[in-house]
Amino acid sequence: MCDSCGCHVPDQEKSTMTVDVNTSLLEANTRQAAENRRHFDAMGALVINLISSPGSGKTTLLEHTIEKLGQEMRIGVIEGDIETERDAARIRAKGAAAVQITTGGACHLDARLVHKGLHDLRQESDSDRFDIIFIENVGNLVCPATFDLGEHERMVLVSVPEGSDKPAKYPKAFTSSQHFLITKTDLLPHFDFSLAEARREALKLNPDLAILEFSATTGEGFDAWISYLRQRRIP
């Protein structure tokens, strides 16, 4: 499990037993993720898993998305955080259904937690009908990349203040995602962030990545984003 999420197991302590436990836990997660995906498909919901460091703008992206699409689509959000209910409160304030999963120390969501979150979301909204469900993972660019949650699409966010070297330094989030969202682009003049480097390094890791640039301040990128979500919505 620790190897699977990227946590280091000291060599001398590695044993067949540890590896067996790790493998078994990761296999259990994969089975649960497949079950989640069947649930999501049965509901007709497109499910998107958002992965990034703390403060990259996941919640802000969701707030703007709900403002723009909340009238025409039913949007639900499963929020993952180590502590606090703040992000779910921000989402509910925009009028979407949201449940908060606090992992109590765990550095990522797993498929079982999301399964519980889905049931809570149905209960909170008194409905089975969602067009899109966003899963906002725990703020962490490392561990969440290893865990399939049953999502249809995975998106990794990096904000301009974090630096354009992040794809090369945290590769798994990029090799396992379909989209790379570069956020806070209005700050490009103030930071030594190279869009060319970020794009080049990300595409070197994963040539199929779709790359979008966003600014919640100027509105850059939101038209393309909203069009994309409309087009991907399951009819």
Sign of the CA dihedral running 176, 180, 183, 189: positive
Which of the 8 DSSP states describes residue 161? G
Shortest Å distance, C-beta 111 to a copy of itself: 8
Q: How far is the CB of 232 from a copy of itself (least distance, A)?
A: 28
> What is the smallest separation between the CB atom of 163 and a copy of itself, expressed in angstroms?
5
94, 67 contact by CB (below 8 A): yes
> Of 106 and 203, which has the nearer Cβ to a copy of itself?
106
| Interface with a copy of itself (CB under 8 A) | 1-3, 5-13, 15, 17-18, 21, 24-25, 28-29, 32, 53-55, 81-84, 86, 103, 105-110, 112-113, 138-143, 159, 161-163, 165-166, 168-172, 184, 187, 190
* CA 82 to centroid of chain Cα atoms: 15
- Give dist(CA 167, CA 206) in Å, integer: 10
Q: Smallest distance from the beta carbon of 71 to a copy of itself, in angstroms?
A: 26
As a whole number of angstroms, the distance between CA 226 and CA 97 comes to 19
Cα–Cα distance, 63 to 86 (Å, whole number): 13
Nearer residue to a copy of itself within complex by CB, 103 or 178:
103
Tokens 């639900």 label which residue?
76
Closest separation between CB of residue 118 and a copy of itself, Å? 15
Considering the complex, state which of residue 152 and residue 172 has its C-beta at the smaller distance from a copy of itself. Answer: 172
Shortest Cβ distance from residue 100 to a copy of itself (Å)? Answer: 11
Closer by beta carbon to a copy of itself, 78 or else 132 = 78
What lies within 8 Å, CB to CB, of 136 at 6+ separation is: 50, 58, 59, 62, 77, 78, 79, 80, 87
Query: CB 235 → a copy of itself: shortest distance, Å?
Result: 34
Q: 86 or 129, CB closer to a copy of itself?
A: 86
**Of residues 10 and 207, the one with the C-beta less far from a copy of itself:** 10
Q: For residues 44 and 219, which CB has a smaller minimum distance to a copy of itself in the complex?
A: 219
Give Cβ neighbours of residue 58 (< 8 Å, ≥ 6 apart): 50, 52, 136, 137, 139, 157
- For the chain, how long is the longest CA-to-CA vector? 57
User: Distance between CA 185 and CA 225 in Å, rounded?
Assistant: 15
